[in-house]
Amino acid sequence: MKFLPLAVGLGLSAAAVLVVPGSGATASMQSATVVDKPHPVASKYLRQRPKWTKCGDEEFRTYCAKVTVPRDWANQYAGNDLEIAVSKVAPRKGTPSRVVFGNPGGPGGAGLGMAPYLASQPALAKDHLAVGFDPRGTGSSSNVSCEGTPGYTMDARDRDPATRDLIAEASELAQPYCDRQSRGLLPYVTTAQTVQDMDLIRQLLGFDTIDYVGYSGGTWLGAYYQTYFPEHVGRFVLDSNTDFTKTWMDTFVSQPQAFERRFREDFAPWAAKYDDQLKLGSTPGAIIRRYERLRRALKERPASEEFLDGAIKVTYDQNSLDQLISGDMYSKLDFPLLAADLLFLEELSEAQSKGGPQAAQRHVDSLSTARQRQLVQRANRAPIGLRMLGEDSEDATFTAITCNDTPWPQGREYGEQLAARLGPHFPLLGWTMAENPCFAWDRPNLTMPTPTGKGLPTTLMVQSVHDPATSYSLALSAHRRYVGSRLVTVTGEGDHGVYGGVNKCADRIVNTFLTTGVAPAADATCAGEGIPAPEKEAPGDEEMSGAPLRRIARFTQAVSGYLP
Tens of pLDDT, residue by residue over 207-250, are 999 999 999 999 999 999 999 999 999 999 999 999 999 999 99
| CA dist., res. 91 & res. 469, Å (int) | 34
Specify the pLDDT at position 3. Answer: 44
What SS3 class is residue 486? strand
Mean pLDDT over each residue of the chain, to the nearest integer: 91
Specify the pLDDT at position 536. Answer: 73
Rama region for 372: left / alpha / beta (φ>0; ψ in -120 to 50; rest): alpha
Q: What percent of the chain has pLDDT over 70?
A: 90
Kindly indicate the confidence band of residue 34, based on its pLDDT and cuts at 50, 70 and 90.
Answer: low
Kindly indicate the confidence band of residue 259, based on its pLDDT and cuts at 50, 70 and 90.
Answer: very high
| CA dist., res. 337 & res. 279, Å (int) | 13
Chain segment 454-486, per-residue pLDDT in tens: 999 999 999 999 999 999 999 999 999 999 999
Specify the pLDDT at position 472. Answer: 98
Residue 223 in contact with residue 479, Cβ under 8 Å? Answer: no
Specify the pLDDT at position 13. Answer: 26
Residue 103 in contact with residue 165, Cβ under 8 Å? Answer: no
Specify the pLDDT at position 381. Answer: 78
Describe the strand order of the beta sheet including 233-239 as a list of residue ranges: 53-54, 63-69, 82-89, 128-133, 98-103, 210-215, 233-239, 459-464, 485-491, 524-527
What SS3 class is residue 527? strand
Specify the pLDDT at position 275. Answer: 98
- pLDDT of residue 297 exceeding 70: yes
Q: What average pLDDT score do residues 351-359 get? A: 95
Kindly indicate the confidence band of residue 392, based on its pLDDT and cuts at 50, 70 and 90.
Answer: confident
Q: In terms of residues, how long is the chain?
A: 564
Measured N-to-C along each axis, helices 335-365 and 369-380 cross at an angle, to the nearest 10 degrees, of: 120
Residue 265 in contact with residue 287, Cβ under 8 Å? Answer: no
| CA dist., res. 244 & res. 227, Å (int) | 11
Query: If you ran DSSP here, which 8-state letter would residue 531 be given?
Result: P
- pLDDT of residue 5 exceeding 70: no
Specify the pLDDT at position 537. Answer: 67
Kindly indicate the confidence band of residue 439, based on its pLDDT and cuts at 50, 70 and 90.
Answer: very high
Q: What average pLDDT score do residues 265-282 get? A: 98
Specify the pLDDT at position 417. Answer: 97
Q: What average pLDDT score do residues 17-28 get? A: 31
- pLDDT of residue 505 exceeding 90: yes
Specify the pLDDT at position 29. Answer: 46
- pLDDT of residue 549 exceeding 50: yes
Residue 159 in contact with residue 145, Cβ under 8 Å? Answer: no
Q: What average pLDDT score do residues 151-170 get? A: 95
Kindly indicate the confidence band of residue 4, based on its pLDDT and cuts at 50, 70 and 90.
Answer: very low
Kindly indicate the confidence band of residue 545, based on its pLDDT and cuts at 50, 70 and 90.
Answer: low
Higher pLDDT, 386 or 318: 318
| CA dist., res. 136 & res. 69, Å (int) | 9
Q: What percent of the chain has pLDDT over 90?
A: 88
Chain segment 80-93, per-residue pLDDT in tens: 999 999 999 999 99
* H/E element, 320: helix 318-327
- pLDDT of residue 12 exceeding 90: no
